[in-house]
Amino acid sequence: MRVYEGRRIDGATRVTVGGELLEPRHDLGNLFPTFEWGFHGSGPDQLALALLADAVGDRTAVDLYHRYRDHYVSKFPTTWRLTDDQIKYGVAKLMAGV
């Protein structure tokens, strides 16, 4: 099980997976320089893209990151923690139209 954590430290965001910094996956698009959450925008887009790419693969990430941002990342609190299973569950709900 992979564990993702996000927190704000002195005004900057830090997102890790298994204690290591999460790769932003600029190769897949968006190119926002930092991760953000708790609202709709480019930073939350980049986080959704990176989380999905890591948990469920590049193709699904590219196809669903805007919807994942809208349903989940935009609602993350200041500090959050989730597992790859929780991400996969959220993706399954989005794909089922729930």
Mean pLDDT for the stretch of residues 58-87: 97
Q: How many CB atoms lie within 10 A of CB 10?
A: 5
Rounded-to-integer distance, Cα 61 and Cα 1, Å:
19
| pLDDT at 30 (0 to 100) | 72
pLDDT digits (tens, 9 = 90+) for 11-63: 899 999 999 999 999 999 878 999 999 999 999 999 999 999 999 999 999 99
Phi, psi (degrees; rounded to nearest 5) at 81: -150, 135
Q: Is 12 exposed, middle or buried (0-12, 13-18, 19+ CB in 10 A)?
A: exposed
Encoded tokens for 6? 């996000």
Mean pLDDT for the stretch of residues 75-87: 98
Mean pLDDT for the stretch of residues 66-79: 97
- Going by pLDDT thresholds of 50, 70 and 90, the confidence category of residue 97 is confident
Rounded-to-integer distance, Cα 44 and Cα 26, Å:
13
